[in-house]
């Protein structure tokens, strides 16, 4: 079974300028996702999908590895509102691996253990699931959330299972909910082709502790993530008992 990593690294970034090539712990942010993919024995090739020749030139000048392949995608599927489906569809026009491991650059502190575990789980359960997503327990229950319609507060859920008006019930009796964190997504080629979806209906939940998730979306996120990352590297380098 051919398994590849797909790293989306477009040039546009409103909150953090040139985020994907900004130096994080001394190296361009996107390099960290490339490096961890190189360490996984399951992954045969690493594709970077980008709209930026600058990013392509930076990667090609640093890595001399035939496993690392940059794909230039159109501007039309690289905007703020562009979807994962669009760049995955573009990728699959010329490549056809059975499993795509999506590694967003905004998780430079991703752990190899999690990467390999998620791939193993998907391989073992290949026939039972359409995809895999990493999730964390949600701090807030969606069953107590509302939207506003014509200046009326309208509950998102008026009933869940046998519970009426869940928005008026104690959170403790409501179903536990989880949020997709984007740390690792695994997409089956057959799910994309057969269901026209990157997830399908049967999604394997790889549950994580939110303390291990440090997504970078703002400058404040960047500072905190980099501080934690450097601390872990220091512990790894200075303790034989610590494994990153």
- State residue 243's pLDDT score: 41
Residues of the chain with CATH 3.90.550.10: 3-136+177-238
pTM: 0.91
In degrees, to the nearest 5, what angle opens at C-alpha 31 toward C-alphas 98 and 57? 95
Q: What is the pLDDT of residues 25-76, one digit of tens each?
A: 999 999 999 999 999 999 999 999 999 999 999 999 999 999 999 999 999 9
* Residues 182-229: tens digit of each pLDDT: 999 999 999 999 999 999 999 999 999 988 888 898 999 999 999 988
- Kindly provide the residue ranges of all beta strands, DSSP E only, lying in the chain, ordered along the sequence: 3-8, 23-24, 27-28, 45-50, 68-72, 99-102, 131-137, 146-149, 152-155, 159-160, 163-164, 178-188, 203-207
Q: Which CATH architecture has domain 3-136+177-238?
A: Alpha-Beta Complex (3.90)
């Amino acid at each position: 079974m051919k398994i590849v990593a797909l790293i989306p690294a477009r040039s546009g970034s409103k909150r953090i300028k040139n985020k994907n090539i900004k130096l994080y712990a001394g190296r361009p942010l996107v390099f960290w996702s490339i490096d961890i993919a190189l360490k996984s024995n399951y992954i045969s090739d690493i594709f970077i999908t980008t709209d930026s020749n600058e990013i392509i030139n930076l990667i090609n000048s640093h890595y001399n590895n035939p496993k690392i392949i940059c794909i230039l995608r159109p501007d039309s599927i690289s905007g703020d509102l562009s979807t994962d489906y669009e760049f995955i569809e573009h990728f699959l026009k010329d490549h056809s691996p059975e499993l795509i491991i999506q590694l967003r650059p905004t998780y430079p502190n991703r752990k190899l253990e999690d990467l390999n575990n998620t791939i193993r789980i998907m391989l073992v359960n290949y026939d039972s699931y359409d995809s895999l997503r990493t999730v964390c327990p949600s701090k807030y229950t969606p069953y107590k959330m509302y939207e506003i319609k014509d200046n009326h507060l309208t509950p998102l859920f008026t009933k869940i299972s046998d519970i009426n008006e869940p928005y008026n019930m104690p959170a403790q009796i409501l179903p536990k909910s989880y949020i997709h964190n984007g740390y690792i997504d695994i997409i089956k080629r057959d799910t994309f082709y057969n269901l026209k979806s990157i997830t399908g209906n049967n999604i394997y939940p790889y549950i994580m502790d939110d303390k291990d998730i440090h997504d970078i979306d703002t400058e404040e996120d960047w500072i905190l993530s980099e501080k934690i990352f450097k601390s872990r590297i220091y512990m790894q380098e200075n303790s034989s008992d610590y494994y990153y």
